[in-house]
Amino acid sequence: MQLDDLYRQVIMDHYQHPRNQGSIGGETLSIDLKNPTCGDEITLQMKIEDGIVTDVRFQGAGCSISMASASMMTEAIKGKPVEEALALSEEFRKMMKGEEFDADRMGDIEALAGVCRFPARIKCATLAWHALERGADQKS
């Protein structure tokens, strides 16, 4: 099996079986974003306590890249300090720009590295990450 095929399988697994999909009860940060270019939309909810992302969930509709990226991101940041989540977001941005990034930190998220070859899809992949950054800005 080629690496591209493996990455496609990881993306499709997160799309078909999204992690952390749904809503969080109680008081949360809630960020709604839409990509007007393609119609992708996401609502990201986060509970941040003492600087830690204690819970994170998303709801939305969109393409496989957008929804898989949201699933991977929520899995990667849950239980992490906000600063670490934002550092991961910065690495994701580098990856989307085709720049050198810290692959060891990315885990499954690296499956989205090929998206940088398709500029029109980068906004799809980064939608959830923009929501994370907005939420962190609101919290600080």
Q: What is the DSSP string of the chain?
A: --HHHHHHHHHHHHHHS-TTBS---SS-EEEEEE-TTT--EEEEEEEEETTEEEEEEEEEE--HHHHHHHHHHHHHHTTSBHHHHHHHHHHHHHHHTT----HHHHGGGGGGGGGGG-HHHHHHHHHHHHHHHHHHHHH-
Q: Containing domain of residue 63, as a range?
A: 3-139
Beta partners for residue 46, in sequence order: 29, 56
pLDDT score, position 92: 98
pLDDT score, position 137: 85
pLDDT digits (tens, 9 = 90+) for 112-126: 999 999 999 999 999
CATH code for position 107: 3.90.1010.10
Please give the tally of structural domains in the chain: 1
pLDDT digits (tens, 9 = 90+) for 85-104: 999 999 999 999 999 999 99
Report pTM: 0.94
pLDDT score, position 140: 64
The stretch 33-54 carries a mean pLDDT of 94
pLDDT score, position 64: 94
6 in Cβ contact with 63 (< 8 Å)? no
Look at residue 1 and tell me whether its pLDDT is greater than 60: no
pLDDT score, position 5: 82
pLDDT score, position 3: 64
Residue carrying the six token digits 């079986």: 17
Look at residue 47 and tell me whether its pLDDT is greater than 90: yes
